[in-house]
Amino acid sequence: MKLKEKIGEAFRLYFILVTLITILLLILGMLLDGDRTFSYEAFLSPLIYAAIGVIPVFFFNGDKEVTMKGLVVQRLIQLIMVEAAMLGIAFWGKSIDTDRSEVVIGIAVGVAIIFVLSLVVEYLFELSISQKLNEDLQRFQREED
């Protein structure tokens, strides 16, 4: 995959992640720390976390073809990388209370859910592209017959 294509894919994934992380922060915040208030800087969090989340795009989208099994392994490694990065940043920045283990579990599960949801959104994008491809294919076959 060329760098231009990687940047395009990273941008697409970035905006999906920003949306999903914002929803996750809303749900986790309401469940675990509903009384807390933040300044406007809190709006930066989804943008920063999403930026971390797109980093694997630049490492895992080479030109080499991978099998379905290889793809699953790739995705699992990506998930572990993203989990480690997100948890690392969350605790390193001391933005959460490390004594509350449910917060750690909440973030870890939340990151995994977002990861899966981003794959679902990606699949839905590709599904809409495949529908267009099928329409074009049928037209192509009619014209060529």
Partner 1 sequence: MELKVKRVPIDESEVLEIRCHKVTDDVQEIISFVKSRQGQLSAEKDGQSVEIPVIDVFYAEAVDNKVFLYTSKDCYEVRLKIYELEEMMKGKKFLRVQKGLILNLMKVKSIKPALSGRYTALLKNGEEVVISRKYVADLKSTLKGGD
Round the CA-based radius of gyration of the chain to a whole number and report it: 19
3 binds partner 1 per the rule CB under 8 A: no
8 binds partner 1 per the rule CB under 8 A: no
137 binds partner 1 per the rule CB under 8 A: yes
65 binds partner 1 per the rule CB under 8 A: yes
Amino acid identity, position 62: G
Non-local CB neighbours of 52 within 8 Å, separated by 6+ positions: 82, 85, 86, 89
C-beta of residue 79 within 8 angstroms of C-beta of residue 50:
no
In the set 71, 80, 112, 116, which binds partner 1 (CB under 8 A)? 71
Give the whole-angstrom CA distance, residue 94 versus residue 88: 10
In the set 37, 39, 101, 141, which binds partner 1 (CB under 8 A)? 141
Select from 15-23, 31-39, 87-95, 130-138 the region that touches partner 1 (CB under 8 A): 130-138
The number of CA neighbours under 13 Å toward the Cβ of 79 is 18
Residues near partner 1, by CB under 8 A? 1, 9, 61, 63, 65, 68, 71, 119, 122-123, 126-127, 129-130, 133-134, 136-137, 139-141, 144-145
